[in-house]
Amino acid sequence: MRADGLTDEGARLRDHIERRTDELAAAPYAVADADELATLDGWLRPIARGLVPAPVPHPNPVGAPAP
């Protein structure tokens, strides 16, 4: 058992799942150019701020980066 409570096998599985979800989540953004991404950001950022009015604490269990 590791310090984080996972077995080595569990840690490998978690790492695999994290990599795979990152790969799958990135696919739609790979086809957008910088202007399209900026437009999307302009639409989504106000919605996100309304849903989460305060910055997500860091570190956090979902791996969100520091603000």
In three-state secondary structure terms, 58 is coil
**Which residues in 23-44 are b (16+ Cβ under 10 Å) and which e?**
eeeeeeeeeeeeeeeeeeeeee
Q: What is the pLDDT along the chain (67 residues), one digit of tens a residue?
A: 888 888 999 999 999 999 999 999 999 899 999 999 999 999 999 998 888 777 777 787 777 777 6
- For position 6, what pLDDT does the model report? 87
Those residues whose C-beta lies under 8 Å from the C-beta of residue 55, and which sit 6 or more positions away, are: 67
In three-state secondary structure terms, 61 is coil
- For position 36, what pLDDT does the model report? 96
- For position 67, what pLDDT does the model report? 67
- For position 48, what pLDDT does the model report? 86
